[in-house]
Structure 1
Amino acid sequence: MRKPRIGIVGVTCQYESGGQRAETLLHDAIKSLEEQNIEVIPADKVVWDLADAVDVCKQFQKEDLDAVAIVVVTWVMDSMKYIFVNKLNVPVVFWAVPYTETFSIGCVQHFGSILKAHNLEYEYVYGLADNPQVVEKVKMVAKTGQIIKSVKNMNLALLGPRQTWRVAGPQDMTNEEWEFSKKFGTTIVHIEMEELVALSEEISDETAKETLKQLAGRTGKVLADEETMIHMAKTYLATKKLIEKYSLNAIAAECYPMYSGLMNLTSSWLADEGVIVDTEGDIGHTLVMYMLNLAANGGACALGEVGSIDTDNNILSIAHEGSTAHSLAESVDKVQISPSGDKGSFVGLPLKPMEAVTVSSIVGSRMQYKLLIEQGSVVSATHQEWVDGGEKLLVKLHLDKDVFKFIEQLMAEGMDHHLVIKEGNYQEILSMLCKFMGIQKITL
C-alpha cells in the first residue's frame, strides 16, 4: 500500500502580522511529516489572497490527495478557507500556530463553527512542527483520508444467491445494498456461488495436490480426508481467479445453510495473504475488517460472536465456526482443519494472547450506521477450553469492565452479534473515520 498523501498549504494575509513566518512554518511542517513516512505535496505558493487559493486548489486537484493540511499562519477571511473545503472534498486538518498576534487558533475556531453549522467535519492541531503529538494527528488525518478513499474505490463481492425477485424495489439487489453503497462508496459485486464451483471443477487434482504441498507449512493439523483437502485447494485457487477476474478487494461469501464449510479454509489461507473473505455473507463486517487492516498496514482480523460469559474474570468467550487466519494462533501447530458439511472444512484454533486489541462491530440501515469501538486484550486459552468450545475458533476476550453489562449495553444499542477483533489499538483512527464518514461512534 502506498504512503498516505497529504497536501500542505499556508494561508495568510497582508493586513495581519505574522505572515513572514509562512515559509519557515511550512518548511518545518513538511520535514516533520516526511519523517513520519507521509508523502507530502507542498503547495506551489503561500496563499496570500483568493487568487492564490484558486491556483493552489488547481494544483492539488491533480495530485490525488488523501487529505489537506492548512497552516493558518495569520487570521484570514472565511472565503479563502472555504475555497479549499469546497473544491478539494477530502478530510481537512487546520494547523494553528502558537503566536498571539496572529489570532491563528481563534481563526480556526471561528471557521470551525461555520463548518459545524453546515455539518462539515474537520480536525485541527495547535503547535509547531517539533511537537510529536501535532505531527502524529496530522498523519492520522492523512491515513484516515486514505482509508476513506480505499473504501470508496473498493469492489466487495457478495458471493452467493441473489434471485430475481422484488416486493416494491430493485429486482436482484436490495435497497439496503444501494444505501450501503451510497453511504460508503463501496461497490458490491454479485457473483453466484455456481461460478466459483464451476471454476473449481476445471482445476485438476494434480494442480490441487501441488497447491496443498505449497500451503502445507501454513495449514496446520489436518483431520479432513484427502478428497476434502483437494476440494479445498481447488476452491482456494478458484477464489483467486474470481478475485483477479472481478478486481475484488474483499469477499462476503455464503456459508449457511448451503455450502457449509466450503469457504472456511480458503478464508484462512487468503487472510494471511492480505485478502478478506468473510464466510457469512456479512458485507458490513467485511468492510470493518478491511478498514482495520488498512489502518494497521496489514495483518488479519478475527471475527466471532459471544459464546459464553465469565463474569468473575470479565472474559467473553468469542467463538466462530472457523475461518480465522492461521497467523492468529500462537503457532501453526495449534491450528486444526476439521471436516464440515459436504467436502468442506473448518479451521479451529485458540487465538494467541494479545496485550491490546480493538473490538468493533457495525450495524445500520437507511444511511444511518453505528460502529462499536472498544479496547480489550486476549488471554491464553487452555487446550481443554478449546476442545470444550468445539475445537473451532476460540477467543478469550478480556475487558476492563463488567462484561455482562457490556452485553446488555450492546443489546440496548441494537448492535450486531458479530465482533471483529484486531491486534493493536486503533480506537483513535476508527473514531476519526466515524467523524468524517458520518457514522455514529458507540463506546460502552
Structure 2
Amino acid sequence: MMIKPKIGICTVVMKNLNLGEDDSVCYQKELITSVKRLGFDIVVAEKFISTPEISKETSALFKKEDVDAYILFVGTFTDDKRVMPLITGAGKPVIVWAHDISAFNVSITGAQNIMPNIYDLGLEYRFIYGNFDDKAALRDLYTFSRACAIKNKLSKTKIGYVGGHPSIMTCQTADEIAVKRIFGITLIDFGNEDIITGRQKIGRIESEKKWEEIKKLAGKVKASKENGIITSSTLIYILKMIKEYSLDAISINCFPNLKGQVCIPISLLNDMGIPSACEGDLNSTILMYILHNLSGLSLHLYLSAEWVGVEYTLSPTRSAIFPPLKSVSPVSII
C-alpha cells in the first residue's frame, strides 16, 4: 500500500493588532481542503496559536498523534516566542507556510521572524510561500511530506538480516549501527542455519501442498519434487519468521549454504508485498522497502521479461534470477 502522510495543521496569529487575524479562519479551511486533496491524513489544531501556552498544547497534540510533519501556517505577523514551544517540543519536521493573500496580514514578515530560529536549531523544515492552489507550493508540500512519512515509517521498521553478506562480496558489507543511526531501522539478525534447521520442522504434507501451489504459477516445471520441497519448506519457514518477528522486509545471504534455494521464495515474498533481496544485499532491501511504500507496488531485483521479451528460467537449486511468478509469463522452473 502506498504510504499516506499524516500531516498536522495549525495557524499562528497575533491578536488585537489590527492584522486581520479573523481572516485566518477562512484561510485555514482552504488550507485543510488543499491538503486533503493531496490524499493526506490530517490532524488539525482547532485553537489558533496566539500564546506560548496554546503552542505547547499543539505540540502535545502532534506528538500524541505521531504526525509525520506539520504545517505551521503564518496567518498574521507574529513574534517567535509564541510558536517556539511548538517548534522545539513537537520533535517533527515543520513546514512554515506564509502567504500574501492580504497585505494587512503581514504573513511573510512573521515567517521571517520564525525561520532563523528553526535554521539555527538545525531542525528539519520546509518553507512554502503562496496561495492554497499554487501548483509549485502544493508540489513542494507533497514531495516533502512523503519524504517525512517515509522517514517516520523507517524509524519503526524491522528488517530481517539473514546470514550477513556473502564472503565473496565485500561490497555488500553493511554497517548495522549506521543503518540504525541514519534510517532508524531495527535489524533482526539471523544465521543461515536458522532457515536450514527451521525448514526441517515443516511437515511434508504442508510442504508438498505449497509446492503444488508454486508449480501452478509456472508455465512448465522440470524441477524434481525433492528440490521443490526444499523450496516450498524454505518459503513456509521464512513466512513464519516474518510473522513471529513482525518483519517488514528481509535480506537473505544465499551464498553458499542457501544457493538457489531462496530464489523462488524471494520472488513470491515480493509478490506478497514483502520487500526481499538475496545475496545479503541489505542496501537494496532498504531501497526496495522505500520504493514499495512510495509506489504501493511490488518490486523485484530483475529485468522484466515483458521488457526484454525473453523466457525466464527459475531453479530451486541454482538460479539467482527471480522475476515475479504471478505477473510474468512465461516462466519455467527447472
Give the TM-score band, short-chain normalised. 0.7 to 0.9
Structure-to-structure mapping, 1:222-237, within 5 angstroms: 222-237=221-236
The letter of the residue matching 1:264 is C
For residues 61-94 of structure 1, what are the alpha-carbon distances to aligned partners after superposition, in whole Å with 9 as ceiling and x for unaligned? Answer: 2212111011111121222332222111112111
Distance 2:274 2:53 in 1: 46
Instruction: State the SS of the aligned residue for 1:347.
Output: coil
Paired residue total: 315
1:246 aligns with 2:245: yes
Is the 8 Å Cα contact of residues 260 and 315 (structure 2) preserved in structure 1? no
In structure 2, relative to structure 1, the CA distance for the partners of 1:297 and 1:107 (3 Å cut) is farther
State the shift of 1:12 in Å.
Answer: 1.1
Is the 8 Å Cα contact of residues 73 and 96 (structure 1) preserved in structure 2? yes
Structure 2 residue corresponding to 1:335, chosen from 293, 296, 312: 312
Distance 2:83 2:216 in 1: 56
The letter of the residue matching 1:236 is L
State the shift of 1:301 in Å.
Answer: 4.3
Distance 1:140 1:277 in 2: 26
Is the 8 Å Cα contact of residues 163 and 190 (structure 2) preserved in structure 1? yes
Q: Please report the TM-score for the alignment, with normalisation by the length of structure 1.
A: 0.64
Is the 8 Å Cα contact of residues 266 and 322 (structure 2) preserved in structure 1? no
Is the 8 Å Cα contact of residues 77 and 106 (structure 2) preserved in structure 1? yes
Q: Please report the TM-score for the alignment, with normalisation by the length of structure 2.
A: 0.84
Structure-to-structure mapping, 1:10-409, within 5 angstroms: 10-14=11-15, 15=17, 17-98=19-100, 99-160=102-163, 176-302=175-301, 324=302, 328-330=304-306, 334-338=311-315, 343-347=317-321
In structure 2, relative to structure 1, the CA distance for the partners of 1:139 and 1:29 (3 Å cut) is same
Q: Which structure's residues are more often strand, by fraction? A: 1
Is the 8 Å Cα contact of residues 223 and 337 (structure 1) preserved in structure 2? no
For residues 308-357 of structure 1, what are the alpha-carbon distances to aligned partners after superposition, in whole Å with 9 as ceiling and x for unaligned? Answer: xxxxxxxxxxxxxxxx49xx442999432135xxx34433669xxxxxxx
Is the 8 Å Cα contact of residues 224 and 345 (structure 1) preserved in structure 2? no
State the shift of 1:219 in Å.
Answer: 4.0
For residues 107-164 of structure 1, what are the alpha-carbon distances to aligned partners after superposition, in whole Å with 9 as ceiling and x for unaligned? Answer: 33453333333332311222222334433432333322221111111111111169xx
Is the 8 Å Cα contact of residues 223 and 336 (structure 1) preserved in structure 2? no
Distance 1:30 1:197 in 2: 53
State the shift of 1:223 in Å.
Answer: 4.6
The letter of the residue matching 1:199 is G
Is the 8 Å Cα contact of residues 220 and 333 (structure 1) preserved in structure 2? no
Distance 1:330 1:89 in 2: 46
Structure 1: any 5+ residue segments left out of the alignment? Answer: 163-173, 303-323, 351-382, 384-390, 392-444
The letter of the residue matching 1:330 is E
In structure 2, relative to structure 1, the CA distance for the partners of 1:157 and 1:175 (3 Å cut) is closer
> Which is bigger in relative contact order (C-alpha 8 A, separation at least 6)?
2
Instruction: State the SS of the aligned residue for 1:17.
Output: coil
Is the 8 Å Cα contact of residues 252 and 286 (structure 1) preserved in structure 2? yes
Instruction: State the SS of the aligned residue for 2:284.
Output: helix
Give the root-mean-square deviation of aligned CA atoms: 2.9
**Structure 1 residue aligned with 2:168:** none
Structure 2: any 5+ residue segments left out of the alignment? Answer: 166-172, 325-329
In structure 2, relative to structure 1, the CA distance for the partners of 1:346 and 1:219 (3 Å cut) is farther
The letter of the residue matching 2:163 is G
